[in-house]
Amino acid sequence: MTFITSPEIEEYIYRLSVPEDSIILEMEKLGHKTGFPIVDRIVGRFLFLITKLKNPGLIVEIGSGFGYSAYWFTKALSNGKVVLTDFSKENIELAKKFFEKGNLIDRAEFHVGDGMEIAQEIKGIDILFLDHQKTKYLEAVKKLEGNLNDGALVIADNTLWHGKVVEENPDRQTKAILEFNKYMFNNERFFSSLIPVRDGVLLSYYRKG
């Protein structure tokens, strides 16, 4: 991971915030040990805050891995639920174990498969979180726009893509991220901001038709 902000600043913010929740620490340890790309603590706390501010009824994640980002979302919920999706059964089973241990299992729904297809069946989304294949972000938002509630938030991780978004000859994945960001900033139904924390987090407010 190339950091957008300097590693020293990242480290400083990271260290400011040691989670009290032992499950979060356990998940971070697993992510770091295996090199699995969790959103990590700084973005996790951001997701928690956004959820507190928004007070959503329904959060849908495309690309949940073993549940780290979803765990932060779920912890912040007063009511409502989080839908986790991942291609990998193993990841989802692991997520279930963490959610059970953290007593959050009742507020979550777990699905194995293509999150974009699974989410197409789910109406009334208040927060849509994208953290799957970077080449599929635009497709996901176009497919799922109709399932968002008025005033919903779309949050997408890795939208500065290791800083590659400003490189001269973007590769396929970078091109896809560039297109996605452009769409989210130029579509009148979305009002977006790109926050340069960690690998870039796009936050967007959706106005229906």
- CB-nearer residue toward ligand SAM: 56 or 65: 65
133 binds ligand SAM (CB under 6 A): yes
Q: From residue 194, how far is each of 8, 156, 185, 188 by CA, in Å?
A: 21, 9, 9, 16
In angstroms, what is the minimal distance from the CB of 55 to ligand SAM? 21
> By CB under 6 A, what part of segment 101-120 binds ligand SAM?
114-116
Indicate the residue whose CB is closest to ligand SAM. Answer: 63
- CB-nearer residue toward ligand SAM: 151 or 171: 171
- As given in the structure block, the two tokens for residue 167 are 């490189």
- CB-nearer residue toward ligand SAM: 151 or 196: 196
User: Of the listed pieces 49-57, 85-93, 142-150, 167-175, which binds ligand SAM according to CB under 6 A?
Assistant: 85-93
Closest CA to 173 of 120, 132, 114, 129: 132
75 binds ligand SAM (CB under 6 A): no
- As given in the structure block, the two tokens for residue 61 are 């994640």
- What's 198's DSSP letter? T
- Each residue 6-45 as x (binds ligand SAM by CB under 6 A) or -, in order, gives -------------------------------xxx------
Of 45, 132, 134, 198, the one binding ligand SAM by CB under 6 A: 132
As separate numbers, helices (DSSP H) first and strands (DSSP E) second, the chain gives 8, 7
User: What count of other Cβ atoms lies within 10 Å of the Cβ of residue 111?
Assistant: 19
Q: From residue 17, how far is each of 97, 111, 113, 142 by CA, in Å?
A: 24, 31, 33, 35
Of 51, 74, 91, 204, the one binding ligand SAM by CB under 6 A: 91
Element (H, E) at 49: helix 40-54
- Each residue 165-204 as x (binds ligand SAM by CB under 6 A) or -, in order, gives ----------------------------------------
- CB-nearer residue toward ligand SAM: 109 or 114: 114
Beta-carbon contacts of residue 53 (< 8 Å; ≥ 6 apart): none
- As given in the structure block, the two tokens for residue 115 are 């999150």
Q: Using CB under 6 A as the criterion, which residues of the chain lie in contact with ligand SAM when the complex forms?
A: 37-39, 62-65, 68-69, 85-88, 91, 114-116, 131-133, 136
